[in-house]
Amino acid sequence: MIRQDVIEAAGKIPEIIFPIFTNGTMIDETYEKLLDKCRNLIPVFSIEGHKSTTDDRRGVGVYEKVISSMKQMQSKNLLFGASITVTKENIIEVTSSEFTSQLAALGCKVVFYVEYVPVTVESTSLAPQEKEREYLARQLEQLRIHQENIVFISFPGDEKSSGGCLAAGRGFFHINSHGGAEPCPFSPYSDSNVRDTSLKEALQSTLFKKLQSEEVLMEEHAGGCVLFERREIVEAMLL
C-alpha cells in the first residue's frame, strides 16, 4: 500500500482482479475512494487470529486497525478477504467456525490459509507438520460445507490437488521489490529482473527452466515448502 502508483495502475486494468495483501494499517479515505472506484482491486487483510494472537505477531493495536478497515469496507459494500498464516500455535483458533463466522459477519468473502513456511532453521517448530495439515484439511472440509458465504483457499495445502508446487512459473512466480523474478516469496532466489526483460522472458529464465525440468517442484516434502527443504539444490542452480 506504500506504492499507490502501482495500485492505481492496476486499477486501470479492470479485466484483471488484483488481490492486494496488506496489514490494513494504511487504508485511509483516499484508498477507500480508489477501492470503491476500481472494483477489480480486492484488499486481503493479514490477520493472525483474535486480538492477542494478531497483536502478538504484528504489534499492539494492529488488530483493532484491521477490524476497523474491514468495517469500513463493509459499510461501502466493498469486496475483501483475509489472509491468515497458519502455525502450530494458532491453527485451532483460526480454523474454528467461531473465528471464521466473525470474519463472515464483518463482510469477509474469501479466506486464504497460508501455512507458515520457515526460512530459518530456528523457526521450523512453528511450521505445520503432517498432523496439523491433516487437521487443516478436515477443518476446511467442514468450513466449506457450513460456511458457504466464504471461499476458503489453502496454500500450499491445495498444492496437493494441483500436483505439486506451483512456483517458478508452473502456476505463478514472484517479483520482488527490486524487480527480481523469484520462484516464490518463500524461495527468494533470482537470475532475471523484469526491469531488463519482459515477463515472458522472465518465465524462461535459466533458474525457472531448471526447476521445472528437474522436477524439484513435484517432489515429496515433509511439510512447509518443497523449495525451502531443497534450498541447497535451488542455490546450486544459480551457480
Is residue 20 a contact point for ligand SF4 (CB under 6 A)? Answer: no
By beta-carbon proximity to ligand SF4, the closer residue of 42 and 114 is 114
List of residues 6+ apart from 163 with CB closer than 8 A: 218
Coil, strand or helix at 43:
strand
C-alpha distances in Å from residue 165, one per residue of 127, 131, 135, 206, 232: 17, 20, 20, 18, 17
Is residue 181 a contact point for ligand SF4 (CB under 6 A)? Answer: no
By beta-carbon proximity to ligand SF4, the closer residue of 11 and 185 is 185
Candidates 73, 91, 117, 140; binder of ligand SF4 (CB under 6 A) is 117
DSSP secondary structure letter of residue 138: H
Count of CB atoms situated within 10 Å of the CB of 146: 10
Site string for ligand SF4, 76-115 (x = CB under 6 A): ----------------------------------------
By beta-carbon proximity to ligand SF4, the closer residue of 107 and 157 is 157
Candidates 186, 192, 205, 230; binder of ligand SF4 (CB under 6 A) is 186
Listed ranges 25-33, 72-80, 161-169, 204-212: which one lies at the site for ligand SF4 (CB under 6 A): 161-169
Is residue 22 a contact point for ligand SF4 (CB under 6 A)? Answer: no
C-alpha distances in Å from residue 96, one per residue of 80, 111, 120, 142, 143: 20, 13, 29, 10, 8
Question: How many residues touch ligand SF4 (CB under 6 A)?
Answer: 13
By beta-carbon proximity to ligand SF4, the closer residue of 41 and 227 is 227
Residue 117: CB minimum distance to ligand SF4, A: 5
Which string of b and e fits 12-24 if b means at least 16 CB within 10 Å? eeeeeeeebebbb
Is residue 202 a contact point for ligand SF4 (CB under 6 A)? Answer: no
Task: Give dist(CA 214, CA 156) in Å, integer.
Answer: 20
Q: Are 39 and 11 in contact (CB under 8 A)?
A: no
DSSP secondary structure letter of residue 229: H
Is residue 165 a contact point for ligand SF4 (CB under 6 A)? Answer: yes
By beta-carbon proximity to ligand SF4, the closer residue of 70 and 117 is 117
DSSP secondary structure letter of residue 221: -
Q: Which three cell numbers stand for residue 54?
A: 494478531
Is residue 118 a contact point for ligand SF4 (CB under 6 A)? Answer: no
Listed ranges 70-78, 80-88, 133-141, 184-192: which one lies at the site for ligand SF4 (CB under 6 A): 184-192
Interacting residue ranges for ligand SF4, rule: CB under 6 A: 117, 156, 159, 165-167, 183-184, 186-187, 225-227
